Structure 1
C-alpha cells in the first residue's frame, strides 16, 4: 500500500514508454478536451509520450527563463507561484505516464523509461541548480517575515526554498556537477531495480497437474487457478503465481508443504537469483550513490538527509521509536510461533515450524480459537459491496457522494470512474478505480493523481490494486486484508479529493512522508466497525446482512497474529533504516548485511522482513529511509480514531474537525500543528499497542 506522486524530480523512479515519432495532434500539448478534463485514454497513443515530455521540458524552460528575466523585483507571485505553475504539459504527461508504467506497463514503456530517465533527471537538475532562479527564490525567502504571507504561502515558500537547497543549489560548481552525475545514475538504476522485481513476479509460474496437490485449496481458488492455467496455454492444469491474490491464499490453504516452501522462497528471493533480474549489485550501487549524495549535501548518512524533511527530523528519533515497538512486537511474535508449533506437534508429523508454514497454521489456529474460517466470511465481501461500503462511510462522515460515470475513456476494461460531489452538489473531483491483477501491473496497491487540486481546479484521483479476481459465475470476493486495503487506498483518495488548497504543491497528499499515511490508515478503522459492516457486508448470493455472530468473531480476532504482522513490518522498516544509516558502503554484501542485521535484532527464522533488500520496491519508489512512516502514522491514526470512538464513529463534529484540519489542509501547515488542531494534544502510543494486542 503506497502513495505515488507525479513529481518530475522523482520521475526517474518510475517506468515509461514511447517512440520518438511526433504526431500533429498530441493530446498532452493542450488541456484535455474531454468532459471533466479527464485523460483521453482512447486517444493517447504510445508515440505521444516522448514528444510530450520533450515539449513539456521546453515549455518549463521558457517559463523559468521568463521568471529569471523579469525586470520586476522578485515577489512571491512572480517567482514562487510562477514556478509552481511552470509545467502544465509535464504535469499532464507525467501524471498519466507514471501511473500507466505501474498499472499497465509493457516492454516498450520500460525501454522508453530507461531512455528518458536521465533526460528528466538532467531537466530537474537544470532547474534546481539554476543559480539565477535560486537568487530570486532566495531573495523572496529572505523577506519572508515582512511579506504578510498566509500560512499556506509561508509553507510553499519554505518548501520551494528547502527543495532547492536540498537539491544542491548552495553547492560549489564541482560538487553540483557530481550531484548531476549521481542523479542520472540513480534514475536509471531505480528503473532497473523495479523492473527486475516485476519480471521476477511475472516469471514465476507454479503449474500443478495432479489434483491431489491441490489438497486444502477452496473450490473458488482452484477454479481461478484453472482459468489462469488455461489463459497460459496449459488447460487441464492449475497455475499459481506470486501476485498476492494467488500467493497468499496458496500459503494459507495448501496442505502441500513442499509447494508452500517453493512458493514462499520464490517470493522472498525475488531479485536474488543470480540471473538477469538480480538486484544485489543494483541496490548496492543505489545505496552507495545515495550515501555519496548525502555527503555532498552535508549529511553523514542518507537517512539523515531524508529525515531532515519529515516529522521525525533525524535517525536519532526514528531508531528509538522502532526499537521501542520492537520490544513489544517480538515477544508477541515468539509467543505466536510457540502456539503454532504446538498445533503442528499435535499433528504428530515431527515437523518444525518454518516461515512457509506461518499462514497455513495461523489459519488453522484462527479457526480453532475463534471458530472463524475466512471462507465463511468471504461471501459477505463482494468487491462491489465493499467499495460501496467505503463510499457510504465517507458519505456519513463527510456528506460526499460518488456516482458512477459511463462513457469515460479508460486505459483498461477493468477501470471504473466516479464523480465525487459534496453535500451541496458541488463537484469535488473524479475518482478512478482499477482493482484486479494482470501481468503488466506492479504488485501492491496505491493512489496517485491524474490532476492535482489547485484553487478552483478539482483533482482527478485513482486507486490501483490487485485484489481477488472474479471466477466464472463467482464475483470477486475479498479477504479481510483486501477489504482493509480497499479502505486504506480510499483513505488516500479522500485526502486527495477533499483538499482545499490554493497551490498545487501544497495540496492533497503533497505532505511530509511520515504524515501521508494518517488519512489512509485511519480510514481502515471503519472497515470492520459493526455499524459499517452492516451497511455493506451482504452475502453475494442471498443478500443476507452479515450476522452478529460473524461480526463478533471478526472483532474477537482483531489482535490475533498481530505479533507477526507488526514484527515483519518493523523488520522491513529497520532494514530500510539500517541500509540508509550506513556511513560507509565499501564491499557491501547486501544479503549478508541483511542477515546480520536481522540476527542482531533477534528476528526469529520463522519470520522474514516483509520485504527483503533485493525486492524492497518501496525504498526505490519514494520510501527510502521512510518505510518507518507506516508505523509512525499508525501511532497517529490509532490515537485519532480514539476521538471517533469517544464521540461516535460518525460524529459530525469530530468528522468535520478531521476533515477541516487534516483532509482539506494538504501541506498548508506543519503536520503536528494540524494534528493537534484536530485532537487537542500530541498523539499517544497506547492506542496503537492496544489495537495490536501488545499492551
Structure 2
C-alpha cells in the first residue's frame, strides 16, 4: 500500500489528511522520500547534458516534492503537538536529514554544474528572478561547504550532523522542563489573582489532571501570575523555575549542549574561511557585519537602560512602602509595574482583558487584511492535527489565495512561544502552488478565551508573518514568502502589530466578553497611552539577550557560555531586577537551530524599519491608505527573497530608515 504521506491527497486544497496519518507512517515515508530525492539529485548531478539553468537550477527547484510533503506535515505536528513517539522520531530524523543535505551540498558533480551555470550567467537570457535564484543557489552551496575537499569536506558533514542532534536535544530538553514543572495552588494561594488568571490556572490544572489549579511555565500563565499574585514567596518560586529552564542539572540540562554548539559553529565558520561565526552568518543579512549590529543595539541600550533604572527606583520605593526590606528583585518587577501602571494610566489588566476576546482579535486581524489587501476568510471544516486548530480558506475577488490554520492555545505537548510556518509555500514552478500557512500561539484557554494586550499584539505579529506567506507572488519556492534575510523577515510581522493600535480597529473589535459593548473611550485612550509603558524593561531584557547572542559568536567560542553571559551582562551594567528575555539554557532562538544564531538582533533591526514604514501610512492617507497598502504588497509582501532586502525597502519607502523612529515609538526619545 502507498504510504498516506506520499499519496495524492484528495482533500480540500490538498491539506494533509491528518485523520488518516499515524505516527507509524512518518519514518517509512521519510525513507522513501529521501531515496526519491537522492535519485532526483543524482539525475541532475550525473546528467550527460551540458549544464543549463533549466536542467540544473530549475531541476533542483523541482526536486524533493515528496520530502517537502513529509517534513511539512511532520514538523508542523512535532512542534505544536508533541508526544514521546514524535520526540523519538525527531531525534532520529535530525541527524539523518543533516547527513542527507550535507551529502547534497558536498556533491562535487552537482556543484560543478551549478558553478558552470553561475560562471556563464552573463551569457544567459535570465529574468531578474532567475538571476537572483541562481546567485542564491550558488552562494548557498558555497556557504554549505560545497567547495571543500578531503578532510575538510568530511569534517563539515560531521559538524552538520552533530549540530542537528544538539539542536533537537536542546529543544526537547526545554520542552521537558516546561512540561514537567508546575506549582499547585490552594485556594489560599490565589491572593490578588483576577478571575481570568484564576480561570487559566484552573484550566491548566484540569489539563494536567492535577486535581486543582496549577501555575505552569507557559508565558500566558506565568506572566499574569507574576503581575498579580500577592504571594511574594510563590512569585519567587515561579520566577526561578521559569528562568531555570534548561539549567536544572540532569539529562535535560542544556548548558553543555550550548557550549558544544558554539564550538562547532566556530569550527564550521573557520572551515569556510571566516574568523568567527558572526562574520559568516551576518555576511548575507542586511546588517552585513557584527559592528553594524552592535552599533544599533548600543544606540538603543543606553536610553533603554536609563529608563529602566529610573523605573526601578520608583518600583523599589513601592516595595519599601509595603514594608519589604532589600532591593527590588526580578520576581517583584511585574507585580509593582502592574500596580504602577494602574495608578499612572488608571489601567487594570483585569478590566482590560475582557475586551480582548481571542475570537474578536482574530476577526480584527482578518478585517485589517481585508481592508488593506482585499482578502476574505471563510471557515473550513477539515481534519487537523489537534482539536484546538481552526482553518480558513483565504480568497481575493473570488480567487483562492491560501489556507490559513490557527492553533492558539497553550498545552503540554506544545513548545513555548509563538511562530508561523508554511506546510506548503507559494510557487508557480514547476506548477502553481498555493500556500498553507499555520500560526501557532500559546494563549490560556477560557470560556471565552481572553487575551492580554501583549497577547493580542502577538496574534497580529504572527498574522503579519502569515500575510508574508499568503501574499507571496514569485515563481520559485526557494525565494517564496518569508525566505528573506533574517533581519528583514520580522518587518511584515512587526509592522502588522501597528494596526492593533489603530483606534477604529479597537472601537470595532475590542468588545466586552459579557456585555458586547465597545471599549469605553477613556479606557481605550488609557490602553493606547500605556502602549509604551514599561518599555525600558522590555527593551533591556531583549537587547541584553541580543548582545549576549552576538558576543557568543563574534570571537572565539566561549568554553563556558554561562560565564560569558555573566561577563557580557556585567559589562553592560545590567539592572539587577531585570533578567534576559532568553537566558542561554532556554535561548531556543539561538540554540534550537541556526535560524537566529548571531541574529536575535533582527527583531530590532526590523523594528527600525517597521516604525518608519508605518509612519509612511500616517504621512499618507492614514493606516488604511490604499496606495501605501498596494505599495507594501508590491514591494515587500509579494516579493519574497526575489530582490535584495535593502532594495525592497527603498522601493517601498524611497530610503532606508534611521533609529530615531524606533526610539520615539518605544517612548525612549522625545
TM-score where L is the length of structure 1: 0.94
1:517 to 467, 476, 490: 490
Structure 1 match to 2:76: 99
Asked whether the equivalents of residues 430 and 461 of structure 1 are also in contact (C-alpha less than 8 Å), the reply is yes
Write out aligned runs for 1:117-266 (5 A): 117-209=94-186, 211-235=187-211, 237-266=212-241
| SS of match in other structure, 1:462 | strand
Q: In structure 2, what is the equivalent of residue 427 of structure 1?
A: 400
Q: Does the aligned pair in 1 maintain the 2:145–2:272 contact within 8 Å?
A: yes
Gaps of 5+ in 1: 1-23
Structure 2 SS opposite 1:557: helix
Instruction: Report whether the alignment pairs 1:638 with 2:615.
Output: no
Specify the SS of the correspondent of 1:450: strand
Rounded to whole Å, the distance in 1 between the matches of 2:206 and 2:24 is 33
Report what 1:396 is aligned to: 371
> Structure 1 residue 562 and structure 2 residue 535: aligned?
yes
User: In the alignment, does 2:444 pair up with 1:468?
Assistant: yes
| Shift of residue 591, structure 1, vs aligned partner | 1.8
Partner of 2:426: 453
Aligned partner of residue 74 in structure 1, secondary structure = coil
Task: Kindly report structure 1 stretches of 4+ aligned residues shifted beyond 4 Å.
Answer: none
**Partner residue of 1:583?**
556
What is the CA deviation profile of residues 482-539 of structure 1, one whole-angstrom value per residue up to 9, with x for unaligned ones?
0000000000000000000000001101111110000000000001210111121111
**8 Å Cα contact 1:257/1:357 also seen in 2:** yes
Q: Is the 8 A contact 2:196 2:450 kept in 1?
A: no
Instruction: State whether residues 30 and 89 of structure 1, in contact with CA within 8 Å, keep that contact through their aligned partners in structure 2.
Output: no
Maintained 8 Å contact 2:203/2:445? no
> Which of 583, 592, 603 does residue 612 from structure 1 map onto?
583
Deviation at 1:351, TM superposition (A): 4.2
Q: The residue matched to 1:70 in structure 2 has which SS?
A: coil
Q: Tell whether 2:300 aligns with 1:325.
A: yes
2:256 to 268, 275, 281: 281
| Greater mean alpha carbon deviation, residues 344-353 or residues 158-167 | 344-353
Residue aligned with 1:332, SS? helix
2:345–2:529: 8 Å Cα contact kept in structure 1?
yes
| 1:546-561 superposed matches below 5 A | 546-561=519-534
Which moved further from structure 2: 278-287 or 217-226?
217-226
How far the C-alpha of 1:540 sits from its partner, in A, is 1.4
**Shift in Å, 1:231:** 4.3
Aligned counterpart, 1:40: 17
For residues 611-642 of structure 1, give each alpha carbon's deviation from its aligned partner in whole angstroms, at most 9, with x where no partner exists: 01111000123211110000000001001000
Partners of 1:362 and 1:336 lie apart in 2 by 9
Measure, in 2, the Cα distance between the counterparts of 1:337 and 1:526.
Answer: 31
1:184-226 deviations in whole A, cap 9, x for unaligned?
11111111111111111011110122x2321101123223323
- Structure 2 distance, partners of 1:233, 1:504, is 44
Which residue does 1:596 correspond to in 2? 567
Say whether the 8 Å CA contact 1:386–1:537 is kept in structure 2. Answer: yes
Alignment-derived partner of residue 506 in structure 1: 479
Against the structure 1 CA distance between its residues 299 and 349, is the aligned structure 2 distance closer, same or farther, given a 3 Å change threshold? same
1:81 is matched with 58
Q: CA RMSD in A?
A: 1.2
Alignment correspondent of 1:417: 391
In structure 1, the residue matched to 2:44 is 67
The aligned counterpart of 2:340 is 365
| Matched pairs, number | 663
Tell me, what secondary structure is at the counterpart of 2:369?
Answer: helix
Aligned match of 1:666: 640
Aligned mates of 2:88, 2:209 — CA distance in 1: 27
Per residue, is there more helix in 1 or in 2? 2
> Does 2:669 align with 1:692?
no
Q: Which moved more, 1:288-297 or 1:590-599?
A: 590-599
1:439 counterpart residue number: 412
Q: 1:233 to 1:169 in 2, by over 3 A?
A: closer
The Cα of 1:584 is off from its aligned counterpart by 4.4
Aligned residue number for residue 16 of structure 1: none
The alpha-carbon deviation at position 309 of structure 1 amounts to 1.6
Pairwise CA distance, 1:375: 1.1
Query: 3-state DSSP class of the match of 2:511?
Result: coil
The one-character-per-residue Cα deviations of 1:365-406 (angstroms, maximum 9, x if unpaired) are 000001001111111111000000000011111111111112
Q: Deviations over 1:297-343 (max 9, x none)?
A: 11111111111121111212111221121122111111111121122
Q: Judging changes above 3 Å, is the alpha-carbon distance between structure 1 residues 230 and 453 closer, same or farther for their aligned structure 2 residues?
A: closer
Deviations 1:261-307, CA, capped at 9 Å, x for gaps: 11111111111112221111111111111111111111111111111
